[in-house]
Chains A and B, each alone.
Chain A
Amino acid sequence: MYEILFALTLIFVLAAVLLLVAAQKGLSVIPFYLLAGALAGAAIDETQLLDLAQWGIAFLVFLFGIHVDVEAFRSTGRISVTVGLLQASIVGALTFGLGLAFGLDPLNAGYLGIAAALSSSLVATSYLDDESGAQPTYERLAESIHFTEDLLGVLAVLGLSAFVYTAAPAWEQIAVGGGLFALALGIRYLLFHRLTARLQGDPEVMMLLGISFVVGFIALAEAADLSIVVGAFAAGIAIADDYPHSLELVDTVDDLEDFFSPIFFVTLGALLTIPTLETIGYTFTLVVAVLLLNPLLVAFILLRSGFDGRTAILTGLTLDQVSIFSLFIALEAFAADQIAPPVFDAIVLAAAVTMIVATYTGRHAGDINRWLRERGLIRLLGEPLGDRTQVAEELEDHVIIVDFEHGGRQVLDACSVLDRPTLVVEDNPVLFEAIRDECDNYVYGDVSNERVWELARLEDAALVVSLTPEHDRAETVVDLEADVPRVVRVDSTETADEFLARGVAGVIYPDTIAAERVGEDLEALLEGDISREEFVERGRSHFETPADD
């Protein structure tokens, strides 16, 4: 008891200190955990923690399974599957070949290939979460590409446990794995809601139910000699992340994750040994593949499939880190004694390095995109333009609207009443059909691309209205070199000051406008000028609800 208490105390004290540092600097915490593990490895006996660390894996995968958003996947699914598969197989094959060239056996070269090919959704989603409001295009794309790659990760785990870790390779196990997922989907759509409805939201029993799902599926997986990762993922699929379960079940299980994930990552770090030259070589290979090759390849494929430069680059930049699944695979292989120590170390080290860099590139993605465009790289990769564009010949004195979704639609309606010509600049392909139906003039493309503005006849426009909540896009509109008044959305007083100083004609700060409107309505209600019914009516007058049935 003393040893394990000592180990846990050390892990959590280290984790707390590192989290504080990471939170202050806004960094991803996982590299810090790994580092802490490497340090703590001297003081603790990590083999004791393997039990708890495997729970860490189970919970992380389980939670990932829960958060899989099947709906979002559908909207951008086909393209993401293509992109994910292409990128993973090309980079994977390259690294695998390189591994063989280094003199590794096929299995260890395979681990390297997997680590280079797959990207981490857990790290990516944690910083993508911070964005408020509706998701921009690149996030949606990134999410479903990550999802594709995580599925590949699960398949890799499944394949490895069926063919590598067992004495006799067995196709039956693949079938059992498929059966597990079928069972999970069956539970999700047929049983889950019936089961939870009777609990009336008791969070304690809900949590136990969730945990017993994990445990049950893991037990099934184990019975079939499959990895626990497969079982945990299937368990996550079985649980629906919708209201009210999102509050009562998912959030409570999420809280448990915070307990198990430091244990997992610190234990992983503690398993590291002092790096040899060989380790450093592999690490370098992985880092180059993950940081440079993956983003560029993804951006290239996306540009070739018709996305604009910014979306392509920003999506690519979310893929520049080693996947958590690669870490699971490494740990499982380590425990099965099926991985060469330098390869294991290299995967963990590369994960730490790429995750640190990924936080940085994630935060400065907009700047990186601009920088790349100024260097002409995006044109080099072949940015398409004009094939989803329609601009009337004689268009002038028009209002250019950037971002259709965040109020652009209403502006459009107003303009059509006023007989004012309009043009929409948009980069979200999901909205394409709606825009084609509703707008006479539109340009699909990246606002940081000058050609977009030429097509949009900026020089002849009467006004540019930018409603995008994304800061880098707004900035681009602010800095446009044209003698056209611009009105730009901002989300803080500081940005308002800054943009006005940089020459925009006006700023739209939604919070203040809402405060003014709602404040007036509320005041009228409180002073007895309007009835509660009228107040409710006024609230409804600001928007049309879809399908008022």
Chain B
Amino acid sequence: MSLGGIALATDFALLIVAAAVLSYAARLTKQPTIVAYVLTGVVVGPIGLGIVAEDQLIEIVAELGLGFLLFLLGIEMRFDDIREIMRPVGAIALGQAVLQAIASTGVALLLGFTLYQSLMIALATTFGATPIIVKVLGDKDDLKELYGKVDVGILIFQDIYLVMALAILSVGAVDNVGEIAFSIGRVLLLMGVIGVVAYLASNYLLPALLRASAANKSTLFTVGIAWAFLFIFAAESLDLSIEIGAFLAGLALAQLPYSTELKERMRPATNFFIAIFFASIALQMEVDQLLAYWQEAIAAAFLLIVINFFIVFGLFYSQRFDIETSFLGTISMLQVSEFSLVLGALAVDQGFIDEGILGFLSLMALITMPISTYYVIYNRQIYAFVRPYLERLEREDTVEAQPVEYADHAVIIGYSRLSSELAAVLEDDVDEIVFVEDRAEYVGELMNAEHGFIFGNARHGDIRQEANLSGAEVLVSVAQRADVNLRLVEDSPDTLSIVTATTEDEAAVLLENGADYVVLERGIVGDELANLLETIDDREAFERRLEELNARARDRSQRADETLDLGREDIHYDAGDGGESSGSCRSDDADTTGGDTDV
């Protein structure tokens, strides 16, 4: 198979195809893809068909995947998002880490693991699984709910814990206490140095750098990747784990306005690489390693789900959350996380544990993740079922739900003359106006304006979510791409939508799919010219109208008030005769909060 010397690595190809098939099946059964990836390794690796062995390419891509994953986790650490609930969330996260570690150690000891193994298991099993929580709650549109926000907050704190655990693991197996202390000290010092560099860059270098790179579609992404690689490489050179480097690189970007767009651009590459990482875990495992502790894994999975429920629920409750929030927030967190596998795989690499323990962790993940997906999906039904038993815990004076970021607002996609003038019209009628724009030349202007501003492209779901598009009162989009406009209109069925189109066909499709008002510039221009030409024989009127057109074209200011009565008589349609006053854009059914938070 020499084909000009270029041949695709067959193992790699098989792994990807298998992962695609299994994740397709996972999607049909509403399972998280991570389960599919881990199973992929099991199916095609030595345990199953034995057709794929870990080769160099798989190893490199898996390693990169892990780095990118941590980079994204870093980018997602936006403290602003959880500022209001920082204190209770921090308390829950800390309490959970300590109490669950104790519980896991206890359970592991009970099941006959050595103390050392038990501690490693405890270290690895105290996380909630981000892919399940964020994905399922996102699909249910529950991330805006109080419990969703608390869970996401806890996950953010767990990321810090993960990085600490990684730091400890990266020290490697050493013999005496003095060396351990020295190594940990060294790791912490170097992390501190990198952290300081990241912090300084975040304040002085990155804002200007990213602003310059926002000019072009590929630049922001490439600059982001280069930034990540610099830190990954630095960490590798300093003998630190590359994940820590990647995480700090992400953290430096997180507080900047470009982070959501960058994260969305990085996501496909990360998803692709991380799929390879999770699939590769089982590639190094033999069947007796995976099943070495299968009875223990089943027992531990169920014991920990039950014990952790009480721990987390108690912590939620102690932080004065109401019982519904506490319950929903708790059951979302009950599963073994993908981080267990990350830590387990690294611990195997470093020689801390043998592959049997990694098999044990993998099995626990494979058991708890699929089950937990269903109880997260049906969390409200379960709550309705257990509610009578919990009612006596009901109390007054619970933590209030925070309002969603944007409510009673207008979302404006794209900054142009048209959209800024419409914003001026809307100003008094909505509480807030949010611009979404990803062209660099407008960033400065929009960031300084009094309106909200999200840097990003509306084609990304996260950007639409951040703007709370589905809960917006008004949508104005001047996006160039017809498919983006179509998606925007579909995403906001109750919203008053004004979108632009380039051709009559596009306009027809948009109207059909629920757009209220389609702006077809060529139609409006033709219309306007037709009006102008009517006056062509009346020199004076003709020139007056031309003057008006010229004045508008040259007017650099925002919509000036006197333009309102310009050319009123030239307009074809009857200016509304005002018979009806019912027409308000504030449709009563606009559902911004989901409505079932009972606080």
Contacts and interface: CB of A to CB of B under 8 A. Distances in A.
A410 B229 contact: no
Contacts of A6: 233
Given A247-B484, A506-B546, A12 B222 contact: yes
B219 interface: yes
A253 B268 contact: yes
Given A255-B269, A258-B265, A335-B4, 16 more contacts: A5-B242, A13-B229, A13-B230, A23-B213, A211-B20, A258-B222, A259-B221, A409-B526, A418-B534, A506-B546, A513-B528, A516-B552, A523-B425, A525-B496, A534-B576, A539-B518
Contacts of B566: 516
Main secondary structure of the interface of A (DSSP, over half): helix
Contacts of A405: 522
A284 B581 CA distance: 74
Q: Which of B209, B217, B526 has the most CB of A within 10 A?
A: B526
B268 A256 contact: yes
Interface in A454-472: 462-463, 465, 467
A292 interface: no
B49 interface: no
Nearest to A221: B3
Given A204-B23, A204-B33, A493-B554, A337 B536 contact: no
B112 interface: no
12 contacts: A204-B33, A205-B20, A205-B24, A211-B20, A212-B21, A508-B529, A508-B549, A508-B553, A509-B552, A515-B559, A516-B566, A528-B583
Interface string A147-173: 000000000000011000100000000
A146 interface: no
Interface in B527-580: 527-534, 536, 546, 549-550, 552-556, 559, 563-564, 566-567, 571-573, 575-576, 578, 580
Contacts of B21: 212
Nearest to B214: A23
Contacts of B275: 208
A224 to B, nearest CB: 10
B533 A215 contact: no
A438 interface: no
A539 B520 CA distance: 9
A518 B527 CA distance: 13
The 3 closest A-B pairs by CB, nearest first: A410-B526, A414-B530, A335-B5
A1 interface: yes
B184 to A, nearest CB: 23
B168 interface: no
Given A519-B421, A543-B504, A543-B507, A205 B27 contact: yes
B272 interface: yes
B219 A496 contact: no
Interface in B220-241: 221-223, 225-227, 229-230, 232-233, 236-237
Interface in B438-483: 459, 461, 480, 482-483
Interface stretch (B10-18, B77-85, B339-347, B591-599): B10-18
A530 interface: yes
Interface of A: 1-2, 4-6, 8-9, 12-13, 15-17, 19-20, 22-24, 29, 50-51, 54, 57-58, 132-134, 160-161, 165, 198-200, 202-205, 207-209, 211-212, 215-216, 218-219, 222, 225-228, 243-244, 246-247, 251-253, 255-256, 258-259, 262, 331-338, 399, 405-411, 413-415, 418, 420, 462-463, 465, 467, 487, 489-490, 493, 496-497, 500, 505-526, 528-536, 538-548
A244 B222 contact: no
A212 B16 contact: yes
B559 A336 contact: no
Contact of B583 (A29, A256, A531, A548): A531
Nearest to B546: A506
B19 interface: yes
Contacts of A510: 521-522, 524-525
A207 B271 contact: yes
Contacts of B233: 5-6, 9
A251 B524 CA distance: 31
A103 B242 CA distance: 53
B219 A211 contact: no
A14 B269 CA distance: 19
Contacts of A54: 6, 8
A520 B522 contact: no
A4 B60 contact: yes
A406 B2 contact: no
Nearest to B63: A1
A227 B19 CA distance: 24
Contacts of B229: 5, 8-9, 12-13
Interface string B476-503: 0000101110110000000010101011
Contacts of B219: 16, 19-20, 23
Given A133-B502, A516-B552, A529-B578, A406 B525 contact: yes
B416 interface: yes
Nearest to A335: B5
Contacts of A244: 483, 486-487
A216 B487 contact: no
B517 interface: yes
Nearest to A208: B20
A532 B426 contact: no
A506 B222 contact: no
A225 B3 contact: yes
B418 A255 contact: no
Contacts of B517: 518, 521, 535-536, 538-539
Contacts of B533: 399, 411, 414-415, 418, 420, 463
A17 B213 CA distance: 10
B176 interface: no
A363 B500 CA distance: 27
Given A16-B226, A246-B483, A532-B516, A414 B17 contact: no
Nearest to B521: A510
A459 B120 CA distance: 90
A420 B533 CA distance: 9
Contacts of A23: 212-213, 215-216, 219
Nearest to B23: A205
Q: Which of A50, A465, A530 has the most CB of B within 10 A?
A: A530
Given A5-B233, A512-B553, A532-B516, A255 B226 contact: no
Nearest to A544: B504
Contacts of B529: 407, 410-411, 414, 465, 467, 487, 508
A528 B222 CA distance: 49
B524 A262 contact: no
A540 B425 contact: no
B573 A538 contact: yes
B585 interface: yes
A461 to B, nearest CB: 12
B553 A496 contact: yes
A410 B523 contact: yes
A446 B20 CA distance: 52
Interface string B409-440: 00000001110011011100100000000000
A526 B426 contact: yes
A509 to B, nearest CB: 4
Contacts of A50: 6
Nearest to B274: A204
Nearest to B568: A520
B459 A251 contact: yes
A6 B526 CA distance: 58
Contacts of B232: 5, 9
A2 B238 CA distance: 11
Contacts of A521: 517
Nearest to B61: A52
Contact of B268 (A252, A413, A462, A524): A252
A493 B496 contact: no
A4 B527 CA distance: 61
B1 interface: yes
A487 B534 CA distance: 15
Nearest to B9: A51
